A = this chain, B = another copy of it.
Amino acid sequence: MSNVDWGLDGLVSELRARREHWRRARQRDPEINGREFPSLDVMHQVSEGLASALFPMRLGPSDLKPKAEDHYIGYTLDKALNTLLDQAVLELRFGQNPPEPFAQTREKAIAAIREFALRLPDIRSVLDTDVEAAYKGDPAARSMDEVLLCYPGVRAIIFHRLSHELFKLGLPLLARIMAEISHSETGIDIHPGATIGESFFIDHGTGVVIGETTIIGRGVRIYQAVTLGAKRFEVDEQGSLIKGGARHPVIEDQVVIYAGATLLGRITIGRGSSIGGNVWLTHSVPPNSQITQANHEQRCEEQRAKGE
Contact = CB atoms under 8 A, between A and B. Distances in A.
A8 B67 contact: yes
A206 interface: yes
Contacts of A152: 180, 183-184
Contacts of A224: 189, 207, 209, 227
A42 B22 CA distance: 31
A290 to B, nearest CB: 11
User: What is the total number of copies of this protein in its complex?
Assistant: 6
Contacts of A118: 7, 11
Contacts of A177: 149-150
Given A68-B78, A139-B230, A140-B243, 12 more contacts: A3-B34, A3-B67, A4-B113, A4-B114, A8-B74, A11-B77, A15-B124, A95-B143, A150-B177, A184-B185, A189-B224, A209-B224
28 contacts: A1-B106, A3-B65, A4-B110, A4-B113, A6-B81, A6-B117, A8-B68, A11-B120, A12-B73, A15-B53, A15-B120, A18-B125, A37-B57, A68-B78, A71-B72, A71-B75, A72-B75, A139-B230, A139-B233, A140-B211, A140-B212, A140-B243, A183-B206, A189-B204, A206-B207, A207-B224, A227-B259, A262-B278
